[in-house]
Chains A and B, each alone.
Chain A
Amino acid sequence: MLDIKNLHAKVGDKEILKGVNLTIKDGEIHALMGTNGAGKSTLSNVIVGNPAYEVTEGTITFNGKNLLDMNTEERAHAGIFMSFQAPIEIPGVSMTNFMRAAVNARREALGKEPLKSTDFLKVMREKRKLVEIDQKLMNRSVNEGFSGGEKKRNEIFQMAMLEPTFCILDETDSGLDVDALRIVAEGFNKLRTAETSALVITHYQRLLDYIRPDVVHVLIDGKIVKTGGPDLAQKIEDNGFDWLKEELA
């Protein structure tokens, strides 16, 4: 599904990614762990095409297509979704209008008719139940006045609406209490199909108790330095990153 080769990227003048290689197959869940500032969020932003980041070298292929030739919205239409670490508030744009614009833009890109208003609201209702998000939030502006937990739940709701094939969960567990974490993770698991792949960025084992990864990577100083099975995440939870750094030295 996703194939990243020798990826270098910078923000401003600062090189953050220094040759990342990563392959994610259909249906696989990969966890990405790493120290603060290692480049985890940079990697996810580069994959979704945040214009603030510049790729200087390397390739990203998504289902055979050169991702770096596509703009942000085209990547979204191709089925890439990112759950933001800090979801953005958009005053004055209601959740309903925002969602309708997003859903219909993707449908248009896929050559489908826009959803009729009644059908759209029906889909909204169904997906809302799936992630247990309150109807009253739908009438508000996007993320405005949402609690931290509501914002994260709203990300999973949007994922449900857009039905992506590749999801990035960028520190979705940060700022969530145990119950909220469970609801968000269970929501994600309910939405998964056999083909859905994901890259789960986290500092903690806890999220991975709910979303079981097939592969775990460790990113340090802009490079993936270790790849292993789920036990690698547990080892990091228990021992931190120092042993890895020593191993590298």
Chain B
Amino acid sequence: MNSEQQYIELYQEAADTIKARSCPVMNAVRDEAFAAFSQVGFPSKKVERYRYTDVDAAFAPNYGISLSPLTVKPSPYIYHLKDAPIDVAPYYHHVADAADPLTALNTALVHDALLIYVPKNTQVEDPIVVDNWLRGSAATMMNRRVLVILEMGAEATLIINDHAADKQRFLTTQVMEIVCHDNSRLDLYEIEETTPLCSRFSNVYLRAGRDCSIKHNSITLFNGQTRNLCDVYLTGENTEVTLNGCAIGSGKQRIDNNTLIDHQVPNCQSNELYKYVVDDQAVGAFAGRILVEKDAQKTTSQETNANLCASSDARMYTQPMLEIYADDVKCAHGSTVGVMDEAALFYMRQRGIPESEARTLLKNAFMGQVIDQIKYEPLRQRLYVKVEKRFRGELDKCEDCRLCK
């Protein structure tokens, strides 16, 4: 299949409209991005970082493109990119990997973008929350772009929720570019709670300076097909980054997380913990690459991917990768794929706990380790409840949605 053709034609037809509804900083790189996309098209499964997801098939259906402007609730630190209080041209499309076909496609088609900007030495106490509502009366493609800038000494917690408000097919591309300047702190939570009709392709690129503390949590509670890429570039010393993931799949859901932590400089620390529970015929994939470059001495890094296949038809692919070019580092990686602990199930059933409840308790316990690490207390408590509901099968729609009722 060559699904790219319809997007190439779409761009040729709609480019003028998109540009008219967009802003100069986005238009400046648009044609170039389109050229990059049309040259390579969608990546096949032979491309290493896309080997677990059939991109072509996901983009094949005929989606209408949404070109309505974003509704941004007035709140501090959140802006339309066109209203940016600072010059964003040095950042926009400069943090992202311009060669990635999905990033290129997003850059070509996106007409409106969000900026989250925290000025120098500003400590934002309450979390900054972005709720994305997918709405539409027909199959719709959404292209979302987010730029996050934390200036020196800035601190923020950012929660991004993805909901689907209509029982409709949605295809989302997202490119998020994050710049953490020296001595900043970012806790970022991305929580997907959509429907089996949704496909999500998210590329997150994060560049951190020195003395930063960064946490990224990717939580897939309910979805259709999801492919999350998260690339972190450590460009300043003494920065600590944590990438955590919680992925729960059932039915025919697919969840593919692909991460890179690039240690470019010495004395940084990275921790990565991704856990999956896949049930029914769900498919999970995790590929995490830790790259320790030649000069990145005294790097410490721990990467763990632990997975529970709760049914014999569920599939899990795992690929932890360590690539080390420095000689004085402390790095470890490990991955496990297990099944339900039969001895524990029997023990619980002997005590009268019904088998389905026993399974729920075990799955919940398994995922608890990731949720335990969530720093923002109210979110942690909310996720304990949500994860448990998810395993009980009570979370088949985004319950927070006022719109879904």
Of the residues A50, A89, A158, contact of B351 by C-beta under 8 Å: A158
Q: Which of B250-258, B288-296, B352-360 contacts A (4 or more CB under 8 A)?
A: B352-360
Give residues 126-163 of A contacting B (CB, 8 Å).
141-142, 158, 162
Assess whether A93 is in contact with B343, with CB atoms less than 8 Å apart: no
Assess whether B347 is in contact with A101, with CB atoms less than 8 Å apart: no
Q: Does B369 contact A (CB under 8 A)?
A: yes
Assess whether B352 is in contact with A77, with CB atoms less than 8 Å apart: yes
Q: How far is the CA of A141 from the CA of B368 in the complex (A)?
A: 12
Q: Does B366 contact A (CB under 8 A)?
A: yes
Assess whether B344 is in contact with A90, with CB atoms less than 8 Å apart: yes
Q: How far is the CA of A134 from the CA of B101 in the complex (A)?
A: 59
Assess whether A98 is in contact with B352, with CB atoms less than 8 Å apart: no
Closest to A79 in B: B352
Assess whether B346 is in contact with A72, with CB atoms less than 8 Å apart: yes
Q: How far is the CA of A56 from the CA of B188 in the complex (A)?
A: 58
Assess whether A76 is in contact with B347, with CB atoms less than 8 Å apart: no
Distance between B357 CB and nearest chain A CB, rounded to angstroms? 6
Q: Does B45 contact A (CB under 8 A)?
A: no
Closest to B369 in A: A92
* Most chain B beta-carbon contacts within 10 A, residue among A82, A90, A98: A90
Q: Does A73 contact B (CB under 8 A)?
A: yes
Assess whether B350 is in contact with A82, with CB atoms less than 8 Å apart: yes
| Apart from A51-B342, A77-B352, A92-B364, 12 more pairs, CB < 8 Å | A48-B350, A50-B346, A72-B350, A73-B350, A73-B352, A76-B352, A82-B350, A88-B343, A90-B341, A93-B364, A98-B361, A101-B357
Give residues 309-358 of B contacting A (CB, 8 Å).
341-344, 346-355, 357
**Can you list 12 A-B pairs with a CB-CB distance of less than 8 A?**
A50-B346, A52-B346, A73-B355, A76-B349, A88-B341, A88-B343, A88-B344, A91-B365, A105-B357, A142-B347, A158-B351, A162-B352
Query: For B154, what are the chain A residues with a Cβ–Cβ distance below 8 Å?
Result: none
Contact flags B372-385 to A (C-beta < 8 A → 1, else 0): 00000000000000
Decide yes or no: A109 and B352 within 8 Å by CB, A88-B343, A91-B365, A93-B365 being known contacts.
yes
Q: How far is the CA of A90 from the CA of B362 in the complex (A)?
A: 8
Assess whether A92 is in contact with B351, with CB atoms less than 8 Å apart: no
Assess whether A101 is in contact with B361, with CB atoms less than 8 Å apart: yes
Q: Does A228 contact B (CB under 8 A)?
A: no
* Most chain A beta-carbon contacts within 10 A, residue among B342, B365, B366: B365
Q: Does A106 contact B (CB under 8 A)?
A: yes
Q: Does A175 contact B (CB under 8 A)?
A: no
Decide yes or no: A87 and B350 within 8 Å by CB, A97-B361, A101-B361 being known contacts.
no
Total interface residues on A, CB under 8 Å, equals 31
Assess whether B347 is in contact with A90, with CB atoms less than 8 Å apart: yes
Distance between A87 CB and nearest chain B CB, rounded to angstroms? 7
Give residues 49-70 of A contacting B (CB, 8 Å).
49-52
Decide yes or no: A105 and B347 within 8 Å by CB, A91-B365, A93-B361 being known contacts.
no
Assess whether B362 is in contact with A93, with CB atoms less than 8 Å apart: yes
Query: For A87, what are the chain B residues with a Cβ–Cβ distance below 8 Å?
Result: 347
Query: For A105, what are the chain B residues with a Cβ–Cβ distance below 8 Å?
Result: 352-354, 357
Query: For A191, what are the chain B residues with a Cβ–Cβ distance below 8 Å?
Result: none
Assess whether A102 is in contact with B362, with CB atoms less than 8 Å apart: no
Top 6 A-B pairs ranked by shortest CB distance? Answer: A92-B365, A76-B352, A72-B349, A102-B351, A88-B347, A106-B352
Query: For A84, what are the chain B residues with a Cβ–Cβ distance below 8 Å?
Result: 347, 350
Distance between B74 CB and nearest chain A CB, rounded to angstroms? 42
Query: For B362, what are the chain A residues with a Cβ–Cβ distance below 8 Å?
Result: 90, 92-93
